[in-house]
Amino acid sequence: MDRLIINGGKRLEGEIRIAGAKNSALPILAATLLTQETVQICNLPHLYDITTMLELLGCMGVQPIVDEKLNVEVNSSSIEHFSAPYELVKTMRASILVLGPLLTRYGKAEVALPGGCAIGSRPVNLHISALKAMGADIVVEDGYIKASVDGKLKGANVFMDLVTVTGTENVMMAATLADGRTVIENAAREPEVVDLADCLVKMGANIEGQGTDTIVINGVANLSGCSYSVMPDRIETGTYLIAAAATRGCIKVKDTRPDILESVLRKLEQAGAQIKVDKSSIELDMQGRRPKAVSLRTAPYPAFPTDMQAQFTALNSVAQGTGSITETVFENRFMHVHEMNRMGASIRVEGNTVIVNGVDSLKGAPVMATDLRASASLIIAGLVSANETSVDRIYHIDRGYECIEEKLQLLGARIRRVPS
Q: Could you list the active site residues?
A: 117
DSSP H or E run through 390: strand 388-392
Q: In three state form, how does the secondary structure of 275-343 look? A: EEECCCEEEEECCCCCCECCCEEECCCCCECHHHHHHHHHHHHCCECEEEEECCCCCCCCHHHHHHHHC
- What Rg value do the Cα atoms of the chain yield, rounded? 22
**Amino acid at the residue 244:** A
C-alpha to C-alpha distances, 392 to 4, 57, 91, 304, 419, nearest whole angstrom: 7, 30, 18, 28, 10
Strand-pairing partners, residue 182, are: 217
Distance CA 172, CA 198 (A): 12
Straight-line distance from the first to the last Cα atom of the chain, in angstroms, rounded to the nearest whole number = 6
C-alpha to C-alpha distances, 397 to 41, 80, 136, 285, nearest whole angstrom: 23, 33, 37, 26
Q: Are 405 and 391 in contact (CB under 8 A)?
A: no
SS3 16: strand
